[in-house]
A and B are shown apart, each in its own frame.
Chain A
Amino acid sequence: MMDGIKKHLIPLSLLLLGLVVAAVLPATGLVNDYLQFVLISVAINAILCVSLNLVNGWMGEFSVGHAGFMALGAYASAILTVKLFPTAPAALLFPAAVLIGGCTAGLAGIPVGILSFKTRGDYLAIITLAFLMIVKSGLENIPYTGGPRGMLGIPRLTTLAWAYFWCVVAFWVIRNLVYSKYGRGIAAIREDEIAAEAMGVNTRTAKLVAFVTSSFFAGVAGALFAHQLQFINPSSFDILKSTEILVMVYLGGVASLGGSLLGAGAVTILTQSLQPLGTWRMVVLPAILVVLMLYRPSGIMGYRDWAWLKPFFSPAPRSNKKKETEKREGPQ
């Protein structure tokens, strides 16, 4: 027990230090509003990227519906802060709104996960596409949230500290998931679903866990996004938004935590610096995606990770291995 605490002491204190820095930095005036905006965007995009990576990278499926989950999180949280409790204290309301945004998206991930039991590859991609389109045109037809005009006047509650906090939570949860028994199962589905099933992986549970976790964090990111921009409409969550996240995943590296961070950072800074190009900016991102697929389909950090992002424990404890060998050698 003591050993475990000691092992986690250094990373935990580093993370806490980061949180303190993120909370204090805006007050010191060292970073201007724009830089702060970019940093928050990097954090939000990193959450989106790592959560999509769970499905597209570790599980090896192809989902284009991530923007749809994000939209659900954004709208659910905005309804809470704008429509239902506009006067509640932000310190209590905002964490609840983000959580509820995440849960709404996570719930929506269940049917998509269930549909993925039987369909794979292209057909699953089609299902996620249909999901995205249904969410988008569904939102356009709800007068309560402003229809196609969207929701205005969302309070600006996403601070650097909150964005940092949720980013750390997303990476921590997904790291622990992919290096766990379930994570091995998810990776086994990517390599060969039939073999995984034959080896005793419960593919249904694994898929459901992957989809729900992924969509939960997409919803969290959507909630943060809504309270950063203070304005959302259904067309902010179209196929181009999904493509942006896809570029991050496939640029940074599939099935990689470090890659997700790298991809999110690179793409955010790139889109910000391409702002003067206007519409032509939207040509650059998909073009990068095409070039990547042609020359480096698994991205910069594909299937690899920095050691400091991996858990300290080995996924198969040594004591078990010893027993296995004893058993094998024993009777004969």
Chain B
Amino acid sequence: MKYLAQQAINALQLGSIYALIALGYSMVYGVLTMINFAHGDVFMLGAFFCLLLIALVPVPFWLALIVVMAATALLGTLIERFAYRPLRKAPRVSAIITALGCGLVIQNTTLGISPYARPMPRLLENATYQFGGVTITMLQIVIIGVSLGLMLALDFLIRKTSFGMAMRAIASDRAMVSLLGIPANEIIAITFAIGAALGGAAGLLYGMAYPVVSASMGITVGWKAFVAAVIGGIGNMRGAVLGAFILGSVEVMTVAVLPSTYRDLISYSLLLLILVFKPYGLLGKPALHKA
């Protein structure tokens, strides 16, 4: 029982990091119906920005989080402005290819600058707490707390503010939104910025939890979050979070039972399986047929 509870906490930790990244994929898909393959690499850069920042000035955790989120938000906006916006009217395939290309450019540039995996310095005190025999570290509380906080803030933003309303309107009919005088381009840019900021935060948290940072993280971890977003139904925010926690639990269970090399195999097989039976994910709605 204790063992199960311990594993549940591990799953919660992994799931909440996945959820933060998955939200970025899902938000962009929601407004542009485009898979932002570069998002995983923005997540990876979040961890690297944090490394860079700590190497330059020793800052406390909260400040590092804010700076990293701002930096990745800027990066996300830049990618949107220079790579994706010119393709707004191009065929969908062009946009996916560009995103894939951007992601690989970011990944390999990072690999060129930092060919080896780097250790992440400790940002928080190493405190542990006992709850009825189950150990929780300070780090886990912070990771789960920060992720949940950001998710709730995002949920509030999307559901209760005029920006969120504009975002949802763009998702349902972009041409109409522009006719009504809502600045669609700005809203899309801000959506990218928020998604990238969440990805950056996830990068920092992931770097703290599994303290090795490498350029391949964008694919090994970032794309897993993408899998989570698709499992939940890409474009659906709550689906992304649901998918992330499902994937997190499945991965923790896999590693507990099988050698850890099976993790990717199981996750991607789960993705295929869900796409076969629920082609639009668990909570997704089928897209309309558009020419």
A interface residue numbers (CB < 8 A to B): 56, 60, 62, 64, 115, 118-119, 121-123, 125-127, 129-131, 133-134, 136-138, 140-141, 147-148, 192, 194, 239-240, 243, 246, 250, 278-280, 282-283, 285-287, 289-290, 293-294, 297
Assess the A279–B101 pair: CB atoms within 8 A: no
Assess the B279–A279 pair: CB atoms within 8 A: no
Task: Determine the distance from Cα of A141 to Cα of B268 in the docked complex, in whole angstroms.
Answer: 14
For chain B, what secondary structure do more than half of its interface residues adopt (helix, strand, loop), or is it mixed? helix
Which of A115, A140, A285, A297 is close to B275, meaning CB atoms less than 8 Å apart? A115
CB distance from B37 to the nearest CB of A (A): 9
Assess the A294–B97 pair: CB atoms within 8 A: no
With known contacts A141-B262, A240-B104, A279-B108, A126–B87 Cβ distance under 8 A: no
In order of increasing CB-CB distance, the 6 nearest A-B pairs are A286-B104, A137-B264, A289-B101, A290-B101, A282-B108, A286-B101
Assess the B269–A293 pair: CB atoms within 8 A: no
For chain A, what secondary structure do more than half of its interface residues adopt (helix, strand, loop), or is it mixed? helix
Task: Determine the distance from Cα of A294 to Cα of B115 in the docked complex, in whole angstroms.
Answer: 29
Task: Determine the distance from Cα of A123 to Cα of B261 in the docked complex, in whole angstroms.
Answer: 26
Query: In the complex, which residues of chain A have a beta carbon less than 8 angstroms from the beta carbon of B269?
Result: 130, 134
- B residues 83-109 in Cβ contact with A at 8 Å: 83, 86-87, 90-98, 100-105, 108-109
CB distance from A28 to the nearest CB of B (A): 40
- B229's nearest neighbour on chain A, judged by CB, is A126
Task: Determine the distance from Cα of A71 to Cα of B52 in the docked complex, in whole angstroms.
Answer: 38
Of B101, B103, B104, most buried by chain A (CB within 10 Å of CB) is B101
Of B29, B112, B280, most buried by chain A (CB within 10 Å of CB) is B112
Is B7 an interface position by the 8 A CB rule? no
Which of A126, A250, A294, A297 is close to B35, meaning CB atoms less than 8 Å apart? A126
Contact with A along B266-287 (1 / 0, CB 8 A): 0011011001100110000000
Task: Determine the distance from Cα of A136 to Cα of B262 in the docked complex, in whole angstroms.
Answer: 11
Task: Determine the distance from Cα of A119 to Cα of B284 in the docked complex, in whole angstroms.
Answer: 14
Assess the A123–B275 pair: CB atoms within 8 A: yes
Assess the B93–A62 pair: CB atoms within 8 A: yes
Assess the B276–A141 pair: CB atoms within 8 A: no
Residues of B in contact (CB 8 Å), total 47
Assess the A141–B265 pair: CB atoms within 8 A: yes
Task: Determine the distance from Cα of A194 to Cα of B290 in the docked complex, in whole angstroms.
Answer: 10
Task: Determine the distance from Cα of A137 to Cα of B112 in the docked complex, in whole angstroms.
Answer: 25
Task: Determine the distance from Cα of A134 to Cα of B265 in the docked complex, in whole angstroms.
Answer: 5
- A282's nearest neighbour on chain B, judged by CB, is B108
CB distance from A331 to the nearest CB of B (A): 36
Assess the B35–A287 pair: CB atoms within 8 A: no
With known contacts A134-B268, A283-B109, A141–B97 Cβ distance under 8 A: no
Assess the B275–A243 pair: CB atoms within 8 A: no
Query: In the complex, which residues of chain B have a beta carbon less than 8 angstroms from the beta carbon of A297?
Result: 90-91, 94
Assess the A283–B272 pair: CB atoms within 8 A: no
Assess the A118–B115 pair: CB atoms within 8 A: no
Query: In the complex, which residues of chain B have a beta carbon less than 8 angstroms from the beta carbon of A129?
Result: 223
Task: Determine the distance from Cα of A290 to Cα of B104 in the docked complex, in whole angstroms.
Answer: 10
